[in-house]
Structure 1
Amino acid sequence: MIMMATSPVVTESATAPVPIPAKIPLVTLIIAILVAVVLGIAGTGGALFYLLRSGRLPLQKTVAAETRPVAPTASRAIVLDPMVANLADAGGAAYLKLSLTLLAADELMKKDGPKAAKGISTDDAAVRDTVLMVVGQQTANELLAQDGKQRLKSALKAALAEHNPELKVMDLYFTDFLVQR
């Protein structure tokens, strides 16, 4: 008799029970989802607001139906004769020789203002007076600084708008600019 070795047969006994996850209450689950959605919307909105305010996300305004060509504003140049003004430097020895051309809105300009005795209109006299008053408050060092002319332009525009409101100055140009110390 020949005996063969056989492996013992293992029968599966009862397997270990699989743990069932604990049930999350439905109300808690809904609240958690709502909080997550609100936080997501707030975060996205905050990021968009930051990007728009910082200029990193420019908006393109496309209004194709209502695009109308803008009529250019009628303007005319007013060329002022050269002016010489004492500057506010100590000792009073510095002066500025200045020539200006003003670009003014034409529809608001008087076509022919009353003439003064020397042939200068009263509008020109008022403008020259304003320019001389502003220039007389400057010093040579201020005018010769890197941004001196630009600051003088800004001061002149503001003074002309304040003292001559009927004259709508759009821009002004220096045609001569000489500082003597």
Structure 2
Amino acid sequence: MAKAETAEMTPAAPVAKVGIVQLAIVAFVAVIGAVGAAGGLVWWMGKTGKLGGGGTKIVEVVKTEPQKTKDQVLEPMVVNLTDVGGRAYLRAAITLRVADEEKPGDAKKEEGGEKKPKAGGQQDVAVRDALIDVLGRKSSEELLQPEGKEQVKKEIKAVLTVREPSLKVVDIFFTEFLVQR
């Protein structure tokens, strides 16, 4: 039995004891390193545009003067539509909102202080011709669609930009719109 007693008395390899303070310091350093690495990665991805979600963009707001406009009221017109049978027509009254490019010598004002837009003349004739051209190519079905009027406004604006470049159309308003089938 002497052998068993000697085995118990032999000192074992020394075991390193780590204190709670040392463990807390190591954990703290590891957390700080991980947070710093994650923050750096997010910053880099945001800087290079690889971060999803589009990010927030800072937009500089520039205050500008509102564009001066005037309304050009056109006489109501009746236009035949392209429906089968040729019996459909459109009665429309249209007002064009155009940019008011007042020249120094054109400051003739009405009593109310606003310039009265000129009706008639060559420009009015060209505008009415363009409107009849665009509207006359439509069917009643196209015009009565939910997006029909908006599409017609875009087409009218495009045609007027080409035919009458001096007339800067800002917006188009239908003040009367009647489709007869």
TM-score range, shorter chain: 0.5 to 0.7
**Is residue 77 of structure 2 the alignment partner of residue 104 of structure 1?**
no
- Identify the match of residue 89 of structure 2 among 83, 91, 95: 95
Q: Deviations over 1:45-85 (max 9, x none)?
A: 4542x422xxxx3312357xxx5x31111110000000011
Counterpart position of 1:23: none
**Aligned-residue offset at 1:11:** 3.3
Matches within 5 A, 1:122-161: 122-161=122-161
Number of aligned residues: 139
- Structure that is richer in helix per residue: 2
Q: Deviations over 1:76-108 (max 9, x none)?
A: 000000001111112211110010000000117
Q: CA RMSD in A?
A: 3.1
Counterpart position of 2:175: 175
Counterpart position of 2:120: 120
Distance 1:77 1:156, change over 3 A: same
**Is residue 58 of structure 2 the alignment partner of residue 60 of structure 1?**
yes
**Aligned-residue offset at 1:15:** 2.0
**Aligned-residue offset at 1:125:** 0.5
User: Which amino acid counterpart does residue 125 of structure 2 have in structure 1?
Assistant: A
- Give unpaired runs (5+ residues) of structure 1: 1-7, 19-35, 112-118
Q: TM-score, normalised by structure 1?
A: 0.65
Counterpart position of 2:114: none
**Aligned-residue offset at 1:17:** 10
Matches within 5 A, 1:77-88: 77-88=71-82
The alignment partner of 1:51 has SS state of coil
Q: Deviations over 1:94-129 (max 9, x none)?
A: 1100100000001179x6xxxxxxx82111101000
The alignment partner of 2:120 has SS state of coil
The alignment partner of 2:53 has SS state of helix
User: Which amino acid counterpart does residue 177 of structure 1 have in structure 2?
Assistant: F
User: Which amino acid counterpart does residue 82 of structure 1 have in structure 2?
Assistant: P
Instruction: State the identity as a percent.
Output: 38
Counterpart position of 1:51: 53
